[in-house]
Structure 1
Amino acid sequence: MDGLKLTVIGGGSSYTPELIEGIINNQDVLPISEVWLVDVEEGKEKLSIIEALSKRMVEKAKCSIKIVATFHRKEAIKDAAYVITQIRVGQLAMRRNDEYISIKHGVIGQETTGAGGFMKALRTIPVMLDICKDMEELAPDAWLLNFTNPAGIITEAILKHSNVKAIGLCNNPINFYKKFASTYHVPMKDVSINFVGINHLIWITSLYISGESRMRDILTGKSDIYEAKNIPSFGWDLEFLQSMKAIPCGYHKYYYQTDRILEEQREQLQNNETRADQVQQVEKDLFEIYQNPEVQEKPKALEKRGGAYYSEAAIDLIKSIHLNTKRVHTLNVRNNGTIACLPDDVSIEVNCVVESHQVTPLQVEEVPPQIRGLLQHVKAYEELTVEAAVSGDEGIALQALTLHPLVPSAERAKNILTEMLPVNEKYLPLFSVHK
């Protein structure tokens, strides 16, 4: 078999060693011969550290994988079979601004939802669409696997405004599979989960272990299986789960437990200990480990960064495409009628059958109102966010942010935008032109 070229845009990310580990562990079935790590000049030091660690990992594994680090994106994309995007426009400093400004205005600060996720999307979408233009020209047959958050919104922008074969991925679903496999002491292949929703807003509507429904276990907190008598609560009130008849993902806490989360974040802000501050420290610690020439494998400390097992999801997906396995994966794809209560052209996160030539979402049953209400609300916000990002229209941006369930009023949305847009001006050229 001819070797495959894999390009990682955002190659200087702290997540990259996990991806390299996955590539090494699957060399017998996935003939990746070149991994190109692309980043921007601002990330030069991190890219150099990741390049050196990646080469040490490959050398230790005795693999003939060529590692190339570069700032020349077009050269890296040319003739790639797969492109993985994991970029952060504005680096962690802008994430910190997003969180601090949001909390200061009395709304939750978070990098993928609310006002923070909104600004991250505005910064990121134009860059991602530029990457897609390069792919259309230089690697028209390549698959784009997008991990860049907010993954659902970014994927929707790509699907609406490019011709690239794009799939959005998140580690949320695979973490559920691993959690249930551990709880019931079964291999992951014996866990079957139906998801409905959009990225970071998915609900589990059915759970089967070895072919037997186990939703009741989660909804009651008890099981009749000896190994799984104590079912994890996932932090939800059981009466709430029972009336919902579904299992929310962790990101639902921002919507269902808003008062508590906001109070915690206000305390964190006073102490300069928001999640952004924590991540900056974790990143600092990780890169100190990475640059140790004695380190030749992915360190355990990476799990503290969040996003654990993302590379496992990525490599499993690439294997399914390359080997045409027709396996089911939970992915961000174009709706096309899969969830009847949402528009056809939006991005959704559901189970899909993966083939080498296409990814087909599996039809979702009718969505009940206790799920449909929030789902449609957030999806409408996402649609407007994509439109604002590609148009630079401040009016549409205001409507998008006002519509978000975590922003209580148009007045609050306008005040947030008034502060956030100038802070982000460097990364929002379309808005500058629009003015």
Structure 2
Amino acid sequence: MRLTILGGGGFRVPLVYRALLNDRGSGRVTHVTLHDLDESRIAAIGRVLAELADGVADAPEVTITTDLDEALKGADFVFSAIRVGGLQGRAVDERVAIEEGVIGQETVGAGGIAYGLRTLPFALELAKRIAAVAPEAWVINFTNPAGMVTEAMSRHLGERVIGICDSPVGLGRRVAMALGVDPAAVRMDYAGLNHLGWLRGVHVDGRDLMPRLLADEQALTSFEEGKLFGADWLRTIGCVPNEYLHYYYFNREAVAASRAAGLTRGALLIEQQRRFYGHEGGSAVAAWEDARLERESTYMAENRQAAGVGERESCDLESGGYEQVALALMRAIALDERTTLILNVRGRGTLAPLDDDAVVEVPCSVDAGGARPLAVGPLTGHAAGLVTTVKAVERSVIEAATGGSRAAALRALATHPLVDSVAVAGRLLERYEAELPQLGYLRGKA
């Protein structure tokens, strides 16, 4: 089986390759092609992979190329993990938003909209090229904002593009551990959009353990989300939100913590990765692992500061997240190893009140035919309102990216729940246009 990774110089690529090295099953990936436009970054990642593979019998062969068509030819699966504008673009997204007094996180609010506006034109062209060069390949999208990008790419790839994220998996694992049950035995009632979802039920042997969790103060506050949101709020809403909903439920505190932090997350990662990619001599794997642990330990640090909780638990620093989801997804499709995974796919009407074409994040049944969303209960109350509004924002960003409409871009910013003023939205767009050359395609009111 042949895998192509677009964005092959990305920092998390070794996680994927390490998962492939540990996969000894029949039909496993035997060849990996890394594609990236930055030759120095892809060379650095290549050194890490070579060291990981040293001494491993039948390690997947690795090819490196900067030619897109060469990378795509013959691929069975394509991972899309691109970052248009690099971390420098992310730092702009975040800084401009924070300076205007709103959340700047790269997938949420103004920062996520700027990231989408930068990324979607390229992602759409990429989808067209994949459809032309590798029409039988399955595309697994890691590129953020994952739900928005997956929905845009589905216009050209249909059901053959699937978005993945490890946030729901991590949430489910932490909740299962808090309850003292095997995560593999849990069926999660989870629904929403990428980075905007809720765990509503924890089913084991036909019994929902969510009421037991909510009633147990010690268990409820023993894991990341319980600490972030607090037991009182989780009992109030009767479920456990995805960690990214902290930006919505505690917006004022999150903005204040971001402004007090000094360095944005993007700026911090630029410095972390500068040290790794500039590393010379010694073990490439050790240098990468040091940088990875530093990256993971500082993940959502501002939110934890806003909530008044301590550092991340050691179990949350372990790998085994999105790369394991990706491996399970590939094996399910390629080898018909049927499984259930929480994925970003077209909802096909399974998640009211959204329409059939809306990409949603829900449990899916996966086999050789692809991923099919399982029936879930409708979103109600404030969850339905948030998801409906954010989906409208995503579609305004897609409209802007496909037609160059500046008005659609402004509408996306102005109607997002985390941007509190049309005037602020206007200033955000002007500043993003001035600092992000990738937005030069926006024009007029069309």
TM-score by length of 2: 0.89
Using the alignment, how far apart are the partners of 1:186 and 1:432 within structure 2?
A: 54
Using the alignment, how far apart are the partners of 1:22 and 1:433 within structure 2?
A: 47
Using the alignment, how far apart are the partners of 2:168 and 2:156 within structure 1?
A: 26
Using the alignment, how far apart are the partners of 2:24 and 2:278 within structure 1?
A: 28
| Partner of residue 114, structure 1 | 109
| Partner of residue 32, structure 2 | 35
Residue 161 of structure 1 deviates from its aligned partner by 4.3
Q: Which sections of structure 1, spanning at least 5 residues, go unmatched?
A: none
SS where residue 124 of structure 1 aligns? Answer: helix
SS where residue 32 of structure 2 aligns? Answer: strand
Residue 211 of structure 1 deviates from its aligned partner by 4.6
Residue 387 of structure 1 deviates from its aligned partner by 1.0
Residue 213 of structure 1 deviates from its aligned partner by 2.1
Q: Say if 1:29 and 1:319, in contact at 8 Å, map to a contact too.
A: no
Map 1:384-423 → 2, pairs under 5 A: 384-423=396-435
Match for 2:336 among 324, 331, 338? 324
Given residue 56 of structure 2, which amino acid in structure 1 is its aligned partner?
Answer: A
Using the alignment, how far apart are the partners of 1:296 and 1:322 within structure 2?
A: 33
Bigger Cα displacement from structure 2, 319-328 vs 87-96 = 319-328
Match for 1:250 among 243, 246, 254? 243
Residue 285 of structure 1 deviates from its aligned partner by 4.1
| Partner of residue 428, structure 1 | 439
Residue 158 of structure 1 deviates from its aligned partner by 1.0
| Partner of residue 240, structure 1 | 233
User: CA 1:130/1:362 → structure 2, altered by over 3 Å: closer, same or farther?
Assistant: same
Residue 67 of structure 1 deviates from its aligned partner by 0.6
Using the alignment, how far apart are the partners of 1:199 and 1:291 within structure 2?
A: 39
Residue 288 of structure 1 deviates from its aligned partner by 5.5
Task: Check if 1:171 corresponds to 2:166.
Answer: yes
| Partner of residue 350, structure 1 | 362
| Partner of residue 182, structure 1 | 177
Bigger Cα displacement from structure 2, 158-167 vs 108-117 = 158-167
Task: Check if 1:382 corresponds to 2:394.
Answer: yes
Using the alignment, how far apart are the partners of 1:203 and 1:118 within structure 2?
A: 22
Q: Say if 1:158 and 1:166, in contact at 8 Å, map to a contact too.
A: yes
Residue 64 of structure 1 deviates from its aligned partner by 4.2
User: CA 1:394/1:220 → structure 2, altered by over 3 Å: closer, same or farther?
Assistant: same
Using the alignment, how far apart are the partners of 2:409 and 2:57 within structure 1?
A: 51
Q: Say if 1:244 and 1:370, in contact at 8 Å, map to a contact too.
A: no
SS where residue 305 of structure 1 aligns? Answer: helix
SS where residue 442 of structure 2 aligns? Answer: helix
| Partner of residue 140, structure 2 | 145
Bigger Cα displacement from structure 2, 229-238 vs 171-180 = 229-238
Map 1:100-139 → 2, pairs under 5 A: 100-139=95-134
Map 1:265-304 → 2, pairs under 5 A: 265-268=258-261, 271=262, 273-287=263-277, 292-293=282-283, 295=285, 299=289, 301-304=291-294
Residue 286 of structure 1 deviates from its aligned partner by 3.8
Root-mean-square deviation (CA, aligned residues, Å) is: 2.3
| Partner of residue 16, structure 1 | 13
Match for 2:350 among 325, 332, 338? 338
SS where residue 84 of structure 1 aligns? Answer: strand
Q: Say if 1:86 and 1:147, in contact at 8 Å, map to a contact too.
A: yes
Given residue 61 of structure 1, which amino acid in structure 2 is its aligned partner?
Answer: V
SS where residue 83 of structure 2 aligns? Answer: coil
Q: Say if 2:221 and 2:227, in contact at 8 Å, map to a contact too.
A: no
User: CA 1:112/1:31 → structure 2, altered by over 3 Å: closer, same or farther?
Assistant: same
SS where residue 30 of structure 2 aligns? Answer: strand
Given residue 5 of structure 1, which amino acid in structure 2 is its aligned partner?
Answer: R
Using the alignment, how far apart are the partners of 1:290 and 1:255 within structure 2?
A: 42
Q: Say if 2:88 and 2:267, in contact at 8 Å, map to a contact too.
A: no
SS where residue 144 of structure 1 aligns? Answer: strand
Residue 422 of structure 1 deviates from its aligned partner by 2.4
| Partner of residue 311, structure 1 | 323
Using the alignment, how far apart are the partners of 2:393 and 2:201 within structure 1?
A: 27
SS where residue 54 of structure 2 aligns? Answer: helix
Bigger Cα displacement from structure 2, 155-164 vs 66-75 = 155-164
Given residue 76 of structure 1, which amino acid in structure 2 is its aligned partner?
Answer: A
Using the alignment, how far apart are the partners of 2:175 and 2:104 within structure 1?
A: 30
Using the alignment, how far apart are the partners of 1:291 and 1:32 within structure 2?
A: 30
